[in-house]
Amino acid sequence: MHDSIALLHATRREAERGPGDRATDQQHARGKLTARERLDLLFDSGSFHEVERLRRHRATGFGLEHRRPHTDGVVTGWGTVHGRTVFAYAHDFRVFGGSLGEAHAAKIHKIMDMALSAGAPLVSLNDGAGARIQEGVSALAGYGGIFRRNTKASGVIPQIAVMLGPCAGGAAYSPALNDFVFMVRGTSQMFITGPDVVQSVTGAEISHEGLGGADVHGAVSGVAGFVHDDEAECLEEVRHLLSLLPPNNRELPPSYDCADPAGRTNDSLADLVPADGNRPYDMRAVIEELVDDGDWLETHEGWGTSVLCGLARLDGQTVGVVASQPTSLAGVLDIHASEKAARFISVCDAFSIPLVTLVDVPGFLPGVDQEHGGIIRHGAKLLYAYCNATVPRVSVVLRKAYGGAYIVMDSQSIGADATYAWPTNEIAVMGAEGAAGVVFRREIAASDDPEATRERLVKEYRAELMHPYYAAERGLVDDVIDPAETRATLIGALRALRSKHADLPSRKHGNPPT
């Protein structure tokens, strides 16, 4: 028995060591950590339990029968993050380049099934060379099993993909099916066809980083929600994200005792936000003033920048924040901003995270490119996401809210539970200048002094239809509030709505705009 136990421990140590120091040194030389080093950073110290550590492939041909390392290039298991159970798998690039074969895929399938059954989040640490070519179609079938499980788990458990190396071809679709995607500059890339294929087909020369690097997906394609400079920082942010999320769709996000007073006044907001609707300001400063301890986790910071999306806490409770950003395109809604916010709202709704919307929107971005690019479809995605959301929804109009963009940004008419406005608000079909130009076009044209007449009629229109209390008088907002009361008002409304229950019509699923 003692000899058998000694052999067991030796075998386990060999599996944990992997292919040896040389392969580890090569991994470090690429600026990357090993799979186990990454798992150590992700999980609470000493909490990781490995699954199928001694698994080996059964493939033959092309010399594979003589290379049968333990783990088969992926480490799977579970542990705790801030004391809560999380499942994970991590590609080991030192073994077959982290490529996916039949046994490798079976391990991932198992841990995905366990995560879904246990109702716990799943984190994938991706650093693989794609399908293991030597195993042929069996490897491709393995990806199919992953995609099917990603889809089955969607909206049931949080799924987080962390890109820490290359991810090419069909393998890139698994991260795209996740709720959140993290990338690291300089070491992680994602693309369907690599630079060589792009050059052979189109003649364009481009690097791996230029085609599918972290900054490309963080600011151009919108695939990555979070971009970091190194792996340690990235994985610490993953831990922070997990602390804000519930384990599954049947439980509420964790709550924490909050030292930041719920009734804290926001006196600085009157100075942060100019009364003049044409003057920009950074909405991030407003959000940081409102949320607990000024701390919030922004997603897609570099993409769709005219809208801000992120998770924060109010009175110790997780909330999703969607906010206009006047410093980018004056806060208009364009294709990317609409798509970004729609996706974020859907994730929050799936995991019972209340929504707070801060509105200062002049409309949708006009232009041929926007129309031909499908702003109607993409704007409808945002509209659909809000209308479909059953979580508590509270909105505040800070300054302007014009036209269809006002409706789309969680107005009372599409189901917001509580709506408020600051005394600087202008809720209208369009700005006074544009509206007067349409309504009084003939009168202005016939005037001896068209400019003076236009200015007079603009003032009349604003006084009649765009004063701060027009919407409140018609029940379109529940109250006009002092900006200093915003935090207390939001917390009060969310407390009242905490037990909200709303049922959607019986159906197999909706058919959202695509």
3-state secondary structure 12-66: HHHHHHCCCHHHHHHHHHCCCCCHHHHHHHHCCCCCCEEECCCCCCCCCCCCHHH
Q: What residue spans of 228-268 are helical by DSSP H?
A: 231-244
Separation between Cα atoms, residue 428 and residue 217, nearest integer Å: 36
496-501 long-range CB contacts below 8 Å, 24 or more apart? 496/418, 497/354, 497/392, 497/394, 497/417, 497/418, 498/317, 498/392, 500/390, 500/391, 500/392, 500/417
Burial of 222 (0-12, 13-18, 19+ CB in 10 A): middle
The residue from 97, 186, 302, 404 that is catalytic is 404
Separation between Cα atoms, residue 272 and residue 270, nearest integer Å: 6
Separation between Cα atoms, residue 189 and residue 401, nearest integer Å: 39
Please name every residue paired with 394 in a beta bridge, in sequence order, or none if there are none: 356, 418
The residue from 145, 155, 170, 373 that is catalytic is 170
The residue from 136, 155, 169, 374 that is catalytic is 169
| Distance from the Cα of residue 229 to its chain's centroid | 18
Torsion angles phi and psi, residue 188, rounded to 5: -110, 135
- Please list, in sequence order, all residues whose beta carbon lies within 8 angstroms of the beta carbon of residue 53, skipping any fewer than 6 positions away: 12, 15, 16, 70, 71, 75
Tell which residue, 501, 476, 479, has the closest CA to residue 489.
479
What end-to-end distance do the CA atoms of the chain give, in Å? Answer: 62
Output the CA angle 258-259-265, nearest 5 degrees.
100
DSSP 261: -
Contact criterion met (CB below 8 Å) for 116 and 156: yes
Tell which residue, 388, 389, 395, has the closest CA to residue 412.
395
Beta strands in 130-232 (DSSP E): 159-163, 166-168, 180-184, 189-191, 226-228
Question: Would residue 172 show up in a list of annotated catalytic residues for this protein?
Answer: no
Beta strands in 327-444 (DSSP E): 355-361, 393-402, 418-421, 426-428
Question: Would residue 262 show up in a list of annotated catalytic residues for this protein?
Answer: no
Separation between Cα atoms, residue 248 and residue 254, nearest integer Å: 11
The residue from 88, 224, 312, 405 that is catalytic is 405
Question: Would residue 169 show up in a list of annotated catalytic residues for this protein?
Answer: yes
Tell which residue, 409, 413, 404, has the closest CA to residue 366.
404
- Please list, in sequence order, all residues whose beta carbon lies within 8 angstroms of the beta carbon of residue 315, skipping any fewer than 6 positions away: 258, 262, 292, 491, 494, 495
Contact criterion met (CB below 8 Å) for 86 and 79: yes
Burial of 90 (0-12, 13-18, 19+ CB in 10 A): buried
Q: Which residues are catalytic?
A: 169-170, 404-405
